[in-house]
Structure 1
Amino acid sequence: MGYRVVVAGATGNVGREMLNILAERQFPVDEITALASRRSLGTEVSFGDKTLTTKDLDTFDFTGWDIALFAIGSDATKKYAPIAAAAGCVVIDNSSLYRYDPDVPLIVPECNADAIEGYSKKNIIANPNCSTAQMVVALKPLHDRAKIKRVVVSTYQSVSGAGKDGMDELWDQTKAVYNPTDDKPAKKFTKQIAFNVIPHIDVFMEDGSTKEEWKMVAETKKILGSSIKVTATCVRVPVFVGHSEAVNIETEDFLDEDEARDILRESPGIMVIDKREDGGYVTPVECVGDFATFISRIRQDSTIDNGLNLWCVSDNLRKGAALNAVQIAELLGQRVLKKG
């Protein structure tokens, strides 16, 4: 016996990826439906070897459905998630709306699986920000061994994190560079993204940080523990898919780089590719379509007593969004619903 599953926002980048991953991982589905807004109504999407025609989110009755994966943004989630939850359907939400709600668990299954028990307070589970998800997968096993005190992270985030419009803008501007008469001014981003980097993701806050940077701080603390200090600089780069992060870690106990490498190799969800030679590391192009979070460039930071540096790369549409949501659904099935 399997589950009745809803994917809301099925025509977007993340929604389509959710459907792909549900099929790839053979999630136990008895029935599945794809929902979209009225402007995308009737669009066909793929689920394994099946083709689904999207239904209207606005009129859909969630009664009798087990799990709903939401990829519709905060505004729409604010309207529809409580409706689904009240109908008895557990919502796994990819937006930022519920991440900081104390009554909603924020889950990365490799890090805080036990938090799933808190889902029943609102019948909603939050999926973390894409940049946070891959980082905490790398931090958790090191934190368990040596207790992390402080993290300094610089991100190199692909344009797919800004949706289809972001990917289209990079593509159009890249072509325009070679055709001076075809001007493509910035619309989705604040400055030209082609052949450029932009140290600005989401809105600015009073302290000078951006909301993306604040999200990484708040979410890391909620997932791994409030005692960890985190400072982030988030940068948009001209890469279509795949987020990269340069992470500096300070621990309470000394952790040798070789031991850290061994710990990460044995940890769930991680693939270590770390050879000190040309090409002995992973870049975003190589991680696209993969489930793993890739770790490279592990080395001691000699400027502090207990410091490590590492390079972290992952497909942001997968581990940063759709894959993590499906993993939460799997965890929910194994520990709570127990149908599949």
Structure 2
Amino acid sequence: MNENLRIAVVGATGVVGREVVSALFDREVEAEQLTVLASERSRGETLDYGEETLVVEEATPTALEGHDLVLLATPAEVSRTLVPALQKTGAWVVDVSAAFRADGSVPLVLPGFNSEVLDGPLKGRLVALPSAVTTALACVIEPLRRAFGVAQVQVTALMGVSAGGNAGVRELEQQTAALLSGREPEAGLLPQRVGFNLVPQVGPFMAQSPWTEEEAGWTLECARLFAPRGEVPVVAGTAVQVPTFHGHGLSLQVRLKKPAPVEQARAALKGSPAVKVLDAPGEKVYPMPSLVTADPTIHVGRLRAFPQAPEWLTLFATVDNVGRGAALNLVEAGLRLAARPG
């Protein structure tokens, strides 16, 4: 690790930002190399960093000057505001929000999937990361694509409220407490009450479209990630907000180009370092959000096939949306960029 490297984490007091700080500590980044920033209301808060304490600064263009690497764990509107000024400082910038995922001039990078992009020629010094759901999709699709080819993926994503950050977590906490006390809470950040409920809407709907921005994002991001491989599976599905705090569950129907027995599909998935197969349902072993927390792999199980449609494979997957789906991607991509010569 370059001891002169200066790293800024923006959004450090959020759900993802705190995980980013923890991941940097695990990689032995010294506290002196790190600046933690957030909104004005968080200025002056402190974060534990081993035996040291980091004081949160307000994220202003001036405060971000002098850094080599800026990790943005911020909402899309904040990223769009900060990036133009950051690009003038010469810092590498990695953004986890949806702000630049659809921008063809900004590389979309998933560490471990297309990390080589970080070593090649880059236009500008900004890199975007895919969503947590797309992260899981890509990690599951790729070993199946290599072994059998993949034509189509249908997904129902059951998303924990931490996808909405601290505000989403607080809303579920408050709604659960109210319902257990016999009171009917009102929706706030989320479009409908999520406490003891399922809401088939995550994020806003696109203009004049039946798809939400979250759902449309999976299709676009998967197309961008798989296009260089010469095979772009059609990905579509529904995002459902569920009353859990952390972790996303994905119910997947995958149409293979070459039908494969379940045993062969399971073997292909086991061969991927990005995936952990938990598939012994008779022993009550299968993926669950409670098991994937703090695990950098995607958990996969409940593999099934139908004799009447042998090209279709059904499975269930889970991803730690805060860790692997966001913070770890930020840190891994950022440190690899910072290690580039020049």
Maintained 8 Å contact 2:93/2:334? no
Question: d(CA) in 2 for partners of 1:268 and 1:86?
Answer: 37
Cα 1:301–1:20 shift into 2, 3 Å:
farther
Structure 1 segment 105-184 matched on structure 2, within 5 A: 105-117=107-119, 120-180=122-182, 182-184=183-185
Aligned position for 2:24: 22
Unaligned runs of 5+ in 2: none
Decide which of 262, 266, 274 is 2:267's aligned counterpart: 262
Aligned position for 1:52: 54
Question: d(CA) in 2 for partners of 1:88 and 1:255?
Answer: 49
Q: Deviations over 1:97-140 (max 9, x none)?
A: 11111111111122212222467312101011121111211111
Maintained 8 Å contact 2:279/2:302? yes
Maintained 8 Å contact 1:242/1:313? yes
Aligned position for 1:104: 106
Aligned position for 1:212: 214
Aligned position for 2:253: 248
Structure 1 segment 294-305 matched on structure 2, within 5 A: 294-305=299-310
Decide which of 314, 328, 331 is 2:333's aligned counterpart: 328
Please provide the CA RMSD for this pair: 2.0
Question: d(CA) in 2 for partners of 1:15 and 1:196?
Answer: 28
Question: d(CA) in 2 for partners of 1:173 and 1:184?
Answer: 6
Unaligned runs of 5+ in 1: none
Aligned position for 1:284: 289
Maintained 8 Å contact 1:17/1:318? yes
Question: d(CA) in 1 for partners of 2:316 and 2:310?
Answer: 20
Maintained 8 Å contact 2:61/2:82? no
Aligned position for 2:315: 310
Maintained 8 Å contact 2:222/2:232? no
Question: d(CA) in 2 for partners of 1:58 and 1:163?
Answer: 21
What is the CA-CA distance between 1:27 and the residue it aligns to?
5.2
Structure 1 segment 185-200 matched on structure 2, within 5 A: 185-200=186-201
Maintained 8 Å contact 1:103/1:118? no
Q: Which deviates further from its counterpart, 27-36 or 47-56?
A: 27-36
Question: d(CA) in 2 for partners of 1:29 and 1:256?
Answer: 51
TM-score in terms of structure 2 length: 0.92
Maintained 8 Å contact 1:20/1:46? no
Q: Which deviates further from its counterpart, 109-118 or 246-255?
A: 109-118
Q: Which deviates further from its counterpart, 323-332 or 35-44?
A: 323-332
TM-score in terms of structure 1 length: 0.92
Maintained 8 Å contact 1:110/1:268? no
Decide which of 274, 279, 284 is 1:274's aligned counterpart: 279
Question: d(CA) in 2 for partners of 1:302 and 1:126?
Answer: 41
Cα 1:135–1:28 shift into 2, 3 Å:
farther
Structure 1 segment 76-87 matched on structure 2, within 5 A: 76-87=78-89
Maintained 8 Å contact 1:134/1:312? yes
Cα 1:46–1:28 shift into 2, 3 Å:
closer
Pairs aligned (count)? 336
* Paired-residue identity, %: 29
Maintained 8 Å contact 1:195/1:238? yes
